[in-house]
A and B are shown apart, each in its own frame.
Chain A
């Protein structure tokens, strides 16, 4: 592999952009392609399939044995609200392999003492998200059930195509949220992507149980992503 290929790959990875490397095993030649770039026409199908599935594979390209490796951004979890559920999530999510960030402008909630070893940003989502954009490999869970705090990041997550958007709140709270989003111009289809009430229906009662239900729902969304939605550049 040429150093320039490795550099291109590492740059894409640190920018959280999906990439593939096609290794021609017989010649030793390697090429990196970032999602959204044009691929050689005869390789298009194999590369797109690898990006969709996230699974590296051996293939025959140009009648030569080739290995297609794929590098998808690691899943991230952004939680809006430094509440009791988030405290339990902060312990569970790293075990399941998620990088987790909590955002809450309410400094009484967002204290380092309540959230050790987790990135905690005591700012408004409006201030944080523009500099740390959400993407399709990010799950967003909004758990303050306060429209002033939750609404903006929910819209941002829908726009960014986050693979999971969940929102806490009773059916009544959610019905009011749907109305607000609709009048703000969010389409019915987009609104339908919000998981509310948040979490798998396992009868969770305590904050810790709700955290388990939320994390399980996020993992389900990650592993069952609509294949048609992947492989499309944003």
Chain B
């Protein structure tokens, strides 16, 4: 892997952030319906300060995932989040493609 690819790689970033003593959560797309901008398996990494890298959508729901990640970091309990046009929160944060996604958020412990 080149250095540049590593700089943009959420899993490498998660490890690097953890090493620096930052609290880290990892979000992963686990299911999609309809048109979804990021494939199943895509990652977003979030730290305790709300910094993030990577993506689980085309930028539509990252804000909501980041705020949920704060809870996951605090409690250590993983969560499954669902966003879609039928969901009020998702509509508010705007998954404008009309798709629906489920995102798994977990804390990196160790």
Interface residues of A (CB under 8 A from B): 1-4, 6-7, 9-10, 13-14, 23, 25, 28, 30, 55-58, 67, 69-70, 99
Contacts and interface: CB of A to CB of B under 8 A. Distances in A.
Main secondary structure on A side of the interface with B: mixed
Contacts of B31: 58
A5 B14 CA distance: 12
A46 to B, nearest CB: 15
Name the residue in B14, B26, B41, B108 with the highest tally of chain A Cβ atoms < 10 Å from its Cβ. B41
Given A23-B106, A67-B30, A9 B11 contact: yes
Interface size of B as a range:
20 to 34
Contacts, number: 56
B77 A3 contact: no
A25 B80 contact: yes
A57 B39 CA distance: 11
A6 B108 contact: yes
B15 A1 contact: no
A58 B108 contact: no
A16 to B, nearest CB: 9
Nearest to A57: B40
Contact of A56 (B2, B18, B40, B76): B40
Contact of A67 (B1, B18, B104, B108): B104
14 contacts: A1-B106, A1-B107, A1-B108, A2-B109, A3-B15, A3-B108, A6-B11, A6-B14, A13-B1, A56-B41, A57-B40, A67-B28, A69-B28, A69-B41
